[in-house]
Chains A and B, each alone.
Chain A
Amino acid sequence: MFDVIVIGGGVVGGLILRELTKYHLNVCLLEKASDVSMGASKANSGIVHAGFDATPNSNKAKFNVLGNEMMEKVTGELGVKFRRNGSLVVAFSAEEIETLKELKARGEQNGVSGLEIISQERLREMEKNISDEALGALYAPTGGIVCPYELTIAAIGNAMDNGAKLETEFEVVKIVKNEECFVLSSSKGKTIEGKIVINAAGLQSGKIAALAGDSGIEIKGRKGEYILLDRESGDFVSHTLFFTPTKLGKGILVTQTEDGNILLGPTAEELENAGTDTSAQGLAFVIEKARKMCKNPPLFNTITSFAGVRAYSSKGDFIIEESKTVKGLIHCAGIESPGLTAAPAIAKFVVETLVGGSLRLIKNENFNGARTPDYFFKNLSTEEKNAIIARDPSYGKIVCRCEQITEGEILRAIRANPPARDIDGVKRRTRSGMGRCQGGFCQPYIAELIAKERGVSLEQVTKCGDGSELIMGVTK
C-alpha cells in the first residue's frame, strides 16, 4: 500500500510527487496517458508570471508570488532552463494606461517587487519591434520563462530517482474508500491502494473527485492555439509582451521561449471536446493580434502551430484543499494560469500542510534533489562536450540536425526516468524534431533507436502511444 497516490502527471502532480520524496513516504503517480506531461503541461505559454494579475488574497495571488520566488531554486536543482526575461503589459490607449496603474497597485498588494510603468520611449528602447501604436507598459522584471514539460518531466524523473513509482496508462475509473485506505482501479483492471489520494488530474479533476464521492468540484476546459516561430527569429522580442487586460479578455502574448523560439498565442476558446485541434479562425486571430502588438512579426519563419488545454474551476480560483466530504482526498483543481508559476509553492503547501496534517512527515536524509542534465549538450563548452564523447561516443553523433541533438541524448531520454517510449516523448525530453524540419530527417532514425532500446519492432513504435503507430506495414 502506498502512503500517497498522486493522480495526474502534470506539473502540479509532478512537483507534488517530488516534494513527497523528501520524506519517508511510499508514493506513486498515476497518469492515464502513455507519458507524463500530456495535458495542460504539454502546451502552454511557459510563462513564470510576476503576480500582478490575480485578485489579492486569492489562492492564485498567494501561490503565484510564492511560486515565482521559488523558481530559481527548483529549476536550478532540476537542471531546467529558466530565465527572468521580464514581462511587459502593453497599453494602446489612455484608458489602458489607467488600467496599468490599477495592475501595478494590485501587484504591489500581492507582494510583487520591482513593478514600474514605463514610457513609450523606454518601451521602444526595450523592444525594437513594438508597435508604433503602443503608448507605454507595465514592466515586471520578475516575470520569466520556463518550459512546462521540461519542468514536469524533470520533477517526475527526480522523484523517481528518489524512489517514487510512476504508472502510466493508468486511467482511474473507480475509487473505493474503505476504513484503511483508498482502492483505485484502472480502465485496464489494475488496482492500487493508498492512504491519501491527491487529485491533480487537470481537466479530469472534477471527474476524479466525483469518483471518490465528492461532487463539489466543477471543472471546465479552455483551449488555446499557438504559433511557434523559428529560433532564427528568436530576437524578435526579448520580454514577454501582454496586452492590457480588458473586459473582452487578456488577448494573446508574444514571447521568447526558454529554448529561443518566439511564441504567439494563445486564443481562449471554451472546450467542447477534449481535442487539441487548431482552427483556421484561431490561428488567424493569433496572427491578427501579433500584428497589433508588433511591427511585422516574422511569420514566414513559422515552424508549427498547436493547441493546448487548460482546466479552470467555476470558482475562478485554484482549489487547493482537503475534500470537505472525503477525508484523505486532497484536491489541486482548477489550476489554470498562473498554475505553472504557482506549482512549486502549491506542491510545498500540499505536502507540508495538507499531507502533513494526516501523516507524520519524517525527512528523507537520502533525498537528492539534483538532476544533472546532459540534454543541453549543445550549450556545453567544447572541453565538456569532448569529455562526454570520450566516455560515450554516441554523443558525437548528431541525429537531429536542426536542433543539434545527439544520439547520446536520445538514448538517455529513452533510458532515464521517466523513460520516453515514443517519438513525442523523445521530442519533449531532447527537442529532437522540434526544429525547422519538424523531424523530417531524424524521425526514422529516432524510431529505430526506440525500437532497439525497447526491444520492439519498428512497426510497434508510436508517435504518442497506442494507436499512433508510425508505419502501417512493410513494403512488397
Chain B
Amino acid sequence: MKKNYDIVIIGGGPAGLAAAVAAYDNGVKDILILEREERLGGILNQCIHNGFGLTRFKESLSGPEYAARFIDEVQKRQIEVCTQTTVLALSKEKQVTVINSAQGVFTVQAKSVVLAMGCRERSRGALNVAGSRPAGIYSAGTAQKYVNIKGYLPGKRVVILGSGDIGLIMARRMTLEGAKVLAVCEIMPYSSGLKRNIAQCLDDFGIPLYLSHTITKIEGEKRVTGVVVSKVDENKRPIAGTEMHFDCDTVLFSVGLIPENELTKMAGIELSPKTRGAVVYQNRETDTDGVFACGNVLQVHDLVDFVSEEAEIAGKAAAQYVLNGAKVREEISVNTGNNISYVLPQKIDRNAGGQVKLFFRVTNTFKNCTITATSGGEVIAKRKKRIAVPGEMETLLLTEKTLAGINDEIVVSLEVDE
C-alpha cells in the first residue's frame, strides 16, 4: 500500500466495486479499495438466493455471482485492493486512517474519496421491545450469516418481526433448512419488502404475514421460549386484548437498515436526517469537494442493480474530480412535498449539464396517484401510478432541457387522483 492515491474507495461491496471500475474506465488508474472483510463482495457474499441482476444483466444471479462479475472487472484492471483492513478515521482533507494486521495503523492521503460503507440492520435494542434478553434473538442478517456462511441453524421455531426483504428471504431460507416459521409480524399496515418476495418467500410456503402487528414481549431466561404479539392501532400502539402467544425458540428482527455513516460524520460532511446518508449533488458528491457517496451508505436501495448504477455515477464523478478539479456550481435544491419521505439528490448543479434522475420513496401505500416534480409553480415532470408503496423506490427523470428552464427549488410530491 502506498501513502497517496488518486482515489480511495471505502468499502469493497457492490457499491465500492462498481465505483472503482467506473473511476478506472473514466481515466484514473491510481485507485485503492479498502475492505474490512476477508474478501470483496460485501453482504452479497451471504445472499445465496437468486434474483440479483435482473435489471442490469437480464438474468437471475445469486449474490456471490453478482459480486463475482464486478470482482472480475476489478481484477482485470488490476485495481489495488486491501482486505481485512478497517478504516478508523476520515478527515475533511481526505486523509484516511486505516488498521490491519500487516501494517498496523497508518494514514493514506487521497485526492478523492468514495464512501461505500453500506448499511447495518436496526437491532432489537433500538425498538425497546419489552421482556427478557436470552439467546435466540438475531437480526435477520446475522441469522443469514450463520445459515449461509457458517452452515448452522440458529433456531427451529421462529417468529420474525419486520417484513423487510431480508426478513422475508430468511423466512424462506429457515423453512428450507427445516425450521418452522410461525409468523412474520409487521407493525405497518403494509410490507416494506418487494412484492415478489412476499409471494415467493411467504405465500409459497404458507407462512402467515400479520400486518399492523408487533412483538410486545419476549420470554425466556436462557433461550427464547416464546413471544407475545399484539395488533397495533393507527399510531402503532399495541391494542390491549389482541395479544397472541407463540411458542418459539428464535426471534429474527428485520426492522430496517441504517446507512453506516460514522466516517462521514467524522469528516464533518452534512447528512440528511431523512436518508441518514450524506446530502449529495446529482454526481453523488457530498458537501465536501472530492468526497462522493454511493450505494446503501447514501440511501437504502431495493435492488443491488440500482446500487451499481449509483456507484458508477459516483466513480465517474470521482475520476472527473481528480482529472479536472472542483467545479463552480449553480445550485438548485430538491425537496420533499406531500407524501414523499425523501428525495435524492438533494441538490442539483445546473452547470453539470445532462439529465438527472430523482430517486425517492413515498410515505404510505397509495392507489391511483400522480407523482409530480414542480418548480416555481410549474409541473416539470410527472408520472401516474396505479399503486405506489414505500417498499419500492420511485424515480422521475428531469431532462437537460427541463433543467435549463428552471430557476427555483424543485419539489417532489404525490397526490391521489380524484
Contacts and interface: CB of A to CB of B under 8 A. Distances in A.
A474 B152 contact: yes
Contact residues on A (Cβ < 8 Å of other chain), bracket: 35 or more
Contacts of A466: 222
A26 to B, nearest CB: 34
A385 B106 CA distance: 10
A283 B156 CA distance: 30
SS class of chain A's interface: helix, strand, loop or mixed? Answer: mixed
B36 A401 contact: yes
Contacts of B124: 304, 438
B130 A283 contact: yes
Given A441-B120, A463-B134, A474-B153, A468 B222 contact: yes
Q: Which residue, A279, A395, A463, has most C-beta atoms of chain B within 10 A?
A: A463
A249 interface: no
Interface stretch (A115-123, A132-140, A356-364, A386-394): A386-394
B223 A469 contact: yes
Contacts of A462: 135
A475 B147 contact: yes
Contacts of B151: 474-475
Interface in A447-463: 448, 458-459, 462-463
B335 interface: no
A227 interface: yes
Nearest to A274: B221
B153 A394 contact: no
A385 B178 CA distance: 46
B142 A277 contact: no
Interface in A433-453: 436-441, 443-444, 448
A168 interface: no
A248 interface: no
B286 to A, nearest CB: 19
Contact of A468 (B216, B223, B258, B265): B223
Contacts of B142: 439-441, 443-444
Interface stretch (B95-103, B197-205, B326-334): B95-103
B152 A440 contact: no
A473 B150 CA distance: 11
A59 interface: no
B143 to A, nearest CB: 10
B241 interface: no
A370 interface: no
A279 B216 CA distance: 9
Contact of B84 (A303, A382, A397, A404): A397
SS class of chain B's interface: helix, strand, loop or mixed? Answer: mixed
B361 to A, nearest CB: 19
Interface string B50-92: 0000000000000000000000000000000000101010000
B123 A467 contact: no
A285 interface: no
A302 interface: yes
B312 interface: no
Contacts of B135: 462-464, 468-470
B177 A475 contact: yes
B285 interface: no
B173 to A, nearest CB: 9
A275 B221 contact: yes
B154 A382 contact: no
A385 B126 contact: no
B288 interface: no
24 contacts: A276-B133, A278-B128, A280-B216, A280-B217, A303-B125, A304-B123, A385-B105, A386-B105, A396-B104, A397-B84, A398-B36, A401-B36, A404-B86, A436-B123, A438-B123, A439-B142, A440-B123, A444-B145, A444-B146, A458-B152, A462-B135, A463-B135, A474-B151, A475-B152
6 tightest CB-CB pairs across the interface, nearest first?
A304-B125, A396-B101, A467-B222, A393-B101, A438-B123, A463-B135
Given A304-B124, A397-B84, A439-B142, 14 more contacts: A280-B130, A304-B123, A385-B104, A386-B104, A394-B101, A436-B258, A443-B142, A444-B150, A464-B135, A465-B222, A468-B222, A470-B146, A471-B146, A474-B151
